[in-house]
């Protein structure tokens, strides 16, 4: 479908007035052909490739940004899951940490904001390399600036690797106390059914089914959608869905145009447009405020789930009408720290952890960027993760968890991260471990839907 310049210029007006931006352009890079048993040669190869293509990514982003006047907020790279790259190397933590530092240095030198892929696919079991990478996470993410990690701990086809879930609770606590304010935990997400083409950090990685390179675009426009909802206070819900759909159609078309033009400039394949509404700390750029503009008194009160379901459905329909390349997560982010409306809802008591978990049953992003008291037991963290990933496994959808045990903080305190990550109110959690369940270990079997083939 041809995209006209008139559509782009209309989107520029959204940019000027309502915070519309291209939240990220993420270049996926295959590093499997860089693998070498010699660690120095391997690090040299991956550094050279990342710097070469990261520089190209920035140059193309600058040109397109200037041409259309639409901000490209983040330029990012995702790479092959590092656990795969570790297979031929010596299995010790120092090796994995050196690779993380190499990725970090290459991202810095090419002026890339984040580089994702320090992770593993362990939904059914773990290899020695997977275990090594997991053990290296606290050092690798606490002592780097731009490296992001992920673990796929569950899938609807394989079930859930409870041994890895239990292990991760302890890993995350270690990471929290190694990094200032626990911010290292904001750089890693764990998933059920992780997509291979997700452009958003922290979970971005270049999947094993992807080509050598792939340029993926993540658009964002909560402020645009909130404005259009506020302009239509009297229409019924069917009409409101249509209004949202048309708005998302326009911003998706602009996102695809920019992605395709950048990919052509770089000489790489265009991948997908992720149509997720991703909030920021800017005034009005809030998913929670969209829900409230729809007529819900406060984010989290009864009616919130229904309103969010309508919003996500309209977003997906508008994006699917606009592009045949919609992928990634494509829904609505409802992070606690990055959305001023979500922060207010937690502080006023209209939104708690239990309601937040309920909302993720219809939201493809999951429990994102929320803080819990620093003394929360590792077993409780693992149980929260298991609960959330179960929603994804049973419903055959992506769900993720980015939880931050805030060192020295208790429920009701505020932890400040700065930048796009904003501030997070520390949420109350039932700090009651269930060791009887967790010590069983093993794997929660896949649901019967996995036998559909």
The confidence score (pLDDT) of residue 302 equals 95
The confidence score (pLDDT) of residue 301 equals 95
Using the predicted structure, report yes or no on whether residue 18 has a pLDDT greater than 60: no
Using the predicted structure, report yes or no on whether residue 83 has a pLDDT greater than 60: yes
The confidence score (pLDDT) of residue 453 equals 59
Q: What percent of the chain is predicted at pLDDT more than 70?
A: 92
The H or E element containing residue 421 is none
The confidence score (pLDDT) of residue 50 equals 96
The confidence score (pLDDT) of residue 283 equals 62
Q: How many CA atoms lie within 13 A of 408 on its CB side?
A: 7
Sign of CA dihedral 348, 352, 358, 362: positive
CA gap 304, 286 in Å, rounded: 14
Q: What is the mean pLDDT of the chain?
A: 89
Q: Are 76 and 27 in contact (CB under 8 A)?
A: yes
Find the length of the chain: 453
Q: How confident is the model at residue 1 (pLDDT cuts 50, 70, 90)?
A: very low
> What domains lie within the chain, and their CATH numbers?
27-192 (3.20.70.20), 215-445 (3.20.70.20)
Using the predicted structure, report yes or no on whether residue 54 has a pLDDT greater than 80: yes
The confidence score (pLDDT) of residue 172 equals 96
Taking phi first (over 0 means left), then psi (-120 to 50 degrees means alpha), and beta for anything else, what does residue 295 get?
A: left
Least confident of 25-29, 83-87, 355-359, 421-425: 421-425
Burial class (CB within 10 angstroms; exposed 0-12, middle 13-18, buried 19+) of 232: middle
CA gap 186, 184 in Å, rounded: 5
Which residues on neighbouring strands pair with residue 404, listed in sequence order?
371
Predicted TM-score (pTM) of the model is 0.91
Q: How confident is the model at residue 220 (pLDDT cuts 50, 70, 90)?
A: confident
Least confident of 159-168, 184-193, 248-257: 248-257
Phi and psi at 432, nearest 5°, equal -125, 100
The confidence score (pLDDT) of residue 379 equals 95
Using the predicted structure, report yes or no on whether residue 168 has a pLDDT greater than 70: yes
Q: How confident is the model at residue 275 (pLDDT cuts 50, 70, 90)?
A: confident
The confidence score (pLDDT) of residue 331 equals 81
Sign of CA dihedral 106, 175, 188, 126: positive
Strands 72-79 and 114-121, by their bridges, are: parallel
Mean pLDDT of 236-246: 92
Q: How confident is the model at residue 158 (pLDDT cuts 50, 70, 90)?
A: very high
Q: Are 245 and 312 in contact (CB under 8 A)?
A: no
């Amino acid at each position: 479908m041809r995209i006209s310049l008139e559509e782009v210029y209309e989107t520029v007006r959204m940019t000027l007035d309502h915070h519309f931006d291209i939240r990220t352009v993420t270049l996926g890079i295959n590093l499997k052909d860089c693998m070498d048993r010699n660690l120095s040669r391997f690090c040299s190869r991956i550094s050279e490739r990342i710097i070469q293509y990261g520089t190209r990514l920035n140059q193309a982003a600058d040109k397109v940004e200037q041409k259309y006047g639409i901000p490209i907020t983040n330029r990012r790279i995702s790479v092959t899951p590092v656990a795969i790259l570790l297979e031929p190397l010596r299995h010790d933590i120092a090796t994995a940490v050196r690779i993380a530092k190499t990725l970090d240095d290459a991202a810095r030198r090419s002026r890339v904001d984040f580089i994702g892929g320090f992770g593993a696919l362990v939904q059914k079991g773990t290899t020695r390399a997977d275990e090594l990478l997991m053990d290296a996470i606290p050092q690798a993410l606490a002592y780097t600036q731009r490296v992001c990690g992920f673990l796929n701990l569950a899938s609807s086809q394989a079930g859930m690797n409870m041994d890895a879930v239990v292990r991760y609770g302890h890993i995350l606590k270690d990471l929290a106390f190694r990094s200032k304010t626990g911010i290292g935990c904001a750089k890693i997400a764990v998933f059920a059914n992780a997509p291979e083409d997700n452009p958003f950090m922290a979970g971005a990685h270049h999947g094993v089914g992807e080509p050598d390179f792939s340029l993926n675009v993540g658009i964002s426009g909560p402020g645009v959608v909130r404005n259009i909802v506020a302009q239509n206070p009297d229409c019924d819900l069917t009409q409101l869905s249509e209004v949202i759909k048309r708005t998302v159609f326009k911003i998706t078309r602009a996102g695809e145009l920019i992605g395709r033009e950048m990919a052509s400039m770089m000489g790489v394949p265009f991948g997908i447009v992720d149509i997720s509404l991703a909030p920021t700390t800017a005034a009005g750029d809030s998913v929670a405020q969209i829900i409230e503009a729809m007529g819900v008194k406060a984010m989290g009160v009864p009616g919130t789930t229904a309103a969010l379901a309508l919003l996500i459905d309209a977003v997906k329909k508008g994006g699917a009408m606009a592009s045949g390349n919609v992928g990634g997560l494509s829904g609505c982010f409802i992070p606690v720290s990055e959305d001023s409306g979500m922060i207010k809802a937690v502080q006023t008591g209209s939104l708690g952890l239990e309601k937040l978990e309920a909302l993720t049953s219809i939201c493809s992003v999951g429990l994102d960027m929320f803080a819990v008291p620093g003394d929360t037991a590792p077993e409780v963290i693992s149980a929260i993760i298991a609960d959330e990933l179960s929603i994804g496994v049973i419903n055959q959808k992506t769900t993720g968890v980015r939880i931050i045990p805030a060192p020295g903080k208790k429920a009701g305190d505020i932890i400040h991260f700065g930048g796009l990550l904003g501030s997070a109110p520390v949420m109350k959690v039932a700090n009651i471990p269930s060791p009887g369940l967790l010590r069983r270990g093993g794997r929660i079997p896949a649901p019967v839907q996995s036998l559909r083939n």
